């Protein structure tokens, strides 16, 4: 029997970037807030200290900061006719499971998604006609505009210490930045990171090919910084251990060194770690939520936490799982195309080439999380004509390094033996002489890519696992081919000693190896309750005191990393709650 606790104004489920931002903002607005985090606290000063943090086996291979799949995982399949089986260990994506969430181990790449995403259906239909978008491609407009979100992007960038170079300030194109980005009010808070050889070589080659390279914006402080909240950052040390590690230099923009400690100093805010939420509770008529139930995983004790408002801020996948487990909103049915919870799950795609230059020293162990130069010519560039190519979406291309460590990264030219003296010699010879050029591509929503509850497999709490049905479609394959061509054109122009060319992906999505922790959709935002789960303020159409925050609200996935809009939307939602909802609780958008 769960122990019923005293009601609070708001309960937050999951304490990463979004929970941290909302926790801080709502506690400062005077609300009594309790945050429930299933993971443990990690103190950067003790847990991320040198030398122990420099352990590839522990953090990269054995997933020390990640979700434990023995306790909770998903089942996966490529299409509805396949039998889904459990993802028995992590592979393709790596949700975090500590205070700070995946934002502890992220690399920090931070982009501003534009109206090309938010108005995706209307822009493509207007330019290419209604028949251009395939019938099974369930993309839709998001119900929000770039102009609305711009101040919140700015707020997030200044909070998270983004280093970068603006490309467009109030309509004025800035040399050295991304000329295709949407106009911004001001530059990034910090100048770009010091370039490495690989990013310099890519920049020169991309320019020679007529493209527009720029340093990738990322939450790695290029110098010591104090953000507007007073959180202090150290300067990035280019230690080469960024992605999948906590930062010992406090140089990575992460919630556990910014918004979370500020919230925790506020008497209105309480954090309970090791607290696993199993259900969001509804009142008898189903119009409001009344709180959550959770288990203290240190002793198995169960609690009910009543709350005036519930904010789901867990990893994107787990937010959707909780909605399905709680029976809030109609589950999506891909056959009837009814329901919304689980709809439009999307992922990302990519292609990559390895270039070997005899005699060069790339020193692949010296880099920041964002030591890349990128081009956006085939992504947020509406002049790039998809009409004749026949695909929706785009891809960015980048050259550089981010956390390439020797258990996982030892490039050798194709045809090299996998063991023995010849393998050793080739590994020794080429390790420092190789660089990569890679593309990250969007994935458009498809009718048959979705989540629901698995009929067979259960988690450690006896609850059904979530089932993920996903594969790449013809649209992604066409785009992948174009991306591989672009990569190979740039790579060949650099005259490498050896080139392992990029190839377009044609195989089904697989759960191994690692690809990207950019899972989106499942509880999408939109303009009406028939085709979306949430309104533009990330408020549930079904229960007005429930907000669901994270990449699970994206109606499709772009080529950019998701954290920019995830952070901006968290601030946007915080403002909507503070300035409107608290004063007049009810739907913020009429259904």
Partner 1 sequence: MKDQGFGRRDFLKGAVAGGAAAATTTVGLPQDAQAQQGAAAQAAAANPGYAFLNLDEAAFVEALVDHMVPADELSPKGTDIGINIYIDRALAGAWGKGERLYMQGPWKPGAPSQGYQLPLTPAQLYRAGIAATNAHCGKTYGKPFDRLTVEQREEVLVGLSTGKVAFEGGPPARVFWTTVYQTVMEGMFSDPIHGGNRDKAGWKLIGFPGAIAVHRENVEKYRDKKFPNDPVSIADMS
Q: Is-contact 110 162, C-beta < 8 A?
A: yes
| C-beta of 354 vs 486, nearer to partner 1 | 354
| C-beta of 411 vs 526, nearer to partner 1 | 411
Q: How far is the CB of 348 from partner 1 (least distance, A)?
A: 16
Q: What angle do CA 212, 252, 574 make, to 5 degrees?
A: 90
d(CA 561, CA 557): 9
355 phi and psi, to 5 degrees? -115, 130
| C-beta of 159 vs 403, nearer to partner 1 | 403
Q: What is the CA radius of gyration of the chain?
A: 23
Distances from the Cα of 217 to the Cα of 180, 211, 226, 513, angstroms: 14, 18, 18, 26
Q: How far is the CB of 73 from partner 1 (least distance, A)?
A: 5
Q: How far is the CB of 87 from partner 1 (least distance, A)?
A: 6
d(CA 291, CA 8): 9
Q: Is-contact 310 13, C-beta < 8 A?
A: yes
3-class state of residue 495 by DSSP: coil
| C-beta of 40 vs 61, nearer to partner 1 | 61
CA dihedral of 576, 579, 585, 587, whole degrees rounded to 10: -30
- Catalytic choice (63, 109, 482, 518): 518
| C-beta of 168 vs 194, nearer to partner 1 | 194
| C-beta of 493 vs 510, nearer to partner 1 | 510
Q: What angle do CA 586, 588, 590 make, to 5 degrees?
A: 95
518 is catalytic: yes
Q: How far is the CB of 317 from partner 1 (least distance, A)?
A: 15
Distances from the Cα of 316 to the Cα of 6, 45, 563, angstroms: 28, 28, 11
| C-beta of 72 vs 377, nearer to partner 1 | 72
| C-beta of 112 vs 252, nearer to partner 1 | 252
Q: How far is the CB of 92 from partner 1 (least distance, A)?
A: 9
Q: How far is the CB of 322 from partner 1 (least distance, A)?
A: 19
Distances from the Cα of 527 to the Cα of 143, 358, 499, 535, angstroms: 5, 55, 47, 6
**Per-residue tokens: 380:** 């947020």
| C-beta of 54 vs 272, nearer to partner 1 | 54
Which residues contact partner 1 by CB under 8 A? 50-52, 54-57, 61-63, 68-70, 73, 76-78, 82-83, 85-91, 194, 196-197, 200, 235-240, 360-363, 365-367, 405-407, 410, 418-421, 424-425, 427-428, 431-432, 456-458, 507-512
Distances from the Cα of 546 to the Cα of 12, 327, 578, angstroms: 10, 13, 14
Q: Is-contact 201 208, C-beta < 8 A?
A: no
Nearest to 430 by CA among 354, 484, 504: 354
Length of the chain: 591
**If phi over 0 gives left and psi between -120 and 50 gives alpha, with beta otherwise, what is residue 256?**
alpha
3-class state of residue 409 by DSSP: coil
Q: How far is the CB of 356 from partner 1 (least distance, A)?
A: 14
d(CA 46, CA 356): 39
Q: How far is the CB of 418 from partner 1 (least distance, A)?
A: 7
Q: Is-contact 37 275, C-beta < 8 A?
A: yes
| C-beta of 62 vs 127, nearer to partner 1 | 62
Q: What's the burial of 149, exposed, middle or buried (CB within 10 Å: 0-12/13-18/19+)?
A: buried
Q: How far is the CB of 175 from partner 1 (least distance, A)?
A: 22
CA dihedral of 375, 380, 383, 387, whole degrees rounded to 10: 110
Q: How far is the CB of 382 from partner 1 (least distance, A)?
A: 35
Residues 6+ positions from 380 with CB-CB distance below 8 Å: 114, 116, 178, 180, 181, 182, 394
**Per-residue tokens: 450:** 């979705």
By annotation, the residues acting in catalysis are: 518
């Amino acid at each position: 029997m769960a122990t019923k606790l005293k009601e609070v104004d708001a309960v937050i489920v999951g304490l990463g970037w979004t929970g941290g931002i909302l926790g801080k903002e709502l506690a400062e607005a005077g609300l009594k807030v309790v945050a429930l985090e299933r993971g443990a606290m990690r103190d950067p000063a003790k847990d991320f200290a040198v030398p122990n943090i420099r352990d590839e086996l522990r953090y990269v291979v054995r997933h020390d900061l990640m979700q434990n799949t023995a306790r909770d995982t998903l089942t996966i399949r490529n299409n509805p006719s396949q039998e889904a089986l459990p993802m028995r260990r992590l592979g393709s994506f790596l949700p975090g499971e500590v205070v700070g969430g995946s934002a502890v181990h992220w690399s920090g790449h931070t982009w501003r998604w534009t109206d090309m995403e938010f108005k995706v259906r209307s822009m493509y239909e207007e330019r290419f006609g209604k028949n251009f978008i395939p019938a099974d491609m369930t993309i839709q407009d998001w119900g929000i505009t770039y102009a609305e979100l711009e101040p919140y992007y700015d707020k997030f960038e200044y909070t998270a210490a983004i280093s970068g170079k603006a490309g467009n300030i109030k309509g004025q194109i800035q040399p050295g930045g991304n000329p295709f980005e949407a106009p911004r009010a001001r530059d990034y808070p910090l100048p770009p990171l010091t370039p490495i050889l690989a990013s310099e070589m890519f920049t020169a080659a991309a320019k020679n090919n007529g493209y527009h390279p720029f340093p990738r914006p990322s939450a790695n402080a290029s110098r010591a910084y104090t953000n507007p909240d007073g959180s202090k950052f150290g300067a990035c040390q280019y230690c080469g251990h960024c992605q999948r590690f906590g930062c010992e230099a406090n140089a990575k923009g992460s919630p556990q060194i910014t918004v979370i400690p500020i919230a925790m100093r506020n008497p209105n805010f309480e954090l309970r770690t090791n607290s696993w939420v199993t259900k969001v509770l509804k009142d008898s008529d189903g119009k409001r939520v009344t709180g959550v139930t959770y288990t203290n995983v240190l002793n198995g004790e169960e609690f009910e936490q009543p709350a005036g408002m519930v904010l789901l801020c867990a990893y994107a996948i787990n937010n959707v799982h909780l909605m399905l487990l709680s029976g809030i909103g109609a589950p999506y049915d891909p056959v009837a195309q009814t329901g919304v919870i689980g709809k439009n799950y999307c992922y990302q795609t990519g292609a990559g080439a390895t270039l070997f230059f005899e005699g060069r020293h790339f020193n692949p162990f010296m880099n920041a999380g964002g030591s890349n130069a990128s081009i956006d010519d085939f992504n947020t560039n509406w002049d790039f004509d998809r009409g004749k190519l026949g695909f929706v979406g785009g891809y960015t291309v980048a050259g550089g390094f981010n956390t390439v460590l020797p258990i996982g990264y030892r490039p050798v030219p194709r045809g090299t033996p996998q063991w023995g003296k010849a393998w050793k010699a080739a590994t020794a010879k080429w390790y420092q002489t190789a660089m990569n050029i890679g593309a990250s591509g969007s994935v458009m929503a498809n009718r048959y890519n979705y989540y629901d509850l698995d009929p067979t497999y259960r988690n450690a709490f006896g609850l059904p696992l979530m089932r993920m049905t996903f594969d790449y479609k013809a649209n992604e394959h066409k785009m992948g081919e174009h991306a591989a061509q672009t990569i190979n054109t740039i790579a060949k122009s650099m005259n490498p000693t050896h080139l392992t060319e990029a190839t377009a992906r044609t195989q089904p999505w697989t759960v191994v190896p690692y690809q990207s922790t950019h899972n989106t959709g499942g509880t999408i935002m939109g303009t009406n309750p028939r085709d979306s789960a949430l309104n533009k303020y990330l408020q549930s159409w079904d229960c007005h005191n429930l907000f669901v925050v994270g990449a699970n609200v994206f109606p499709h996935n772009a080529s950019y990393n998701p954290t920019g809009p995830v952070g901006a939307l968290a601030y946007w939602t915080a403002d909507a709650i503070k300035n409107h909802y608290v004063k007049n609780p009810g739907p913020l958008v009429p259904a």
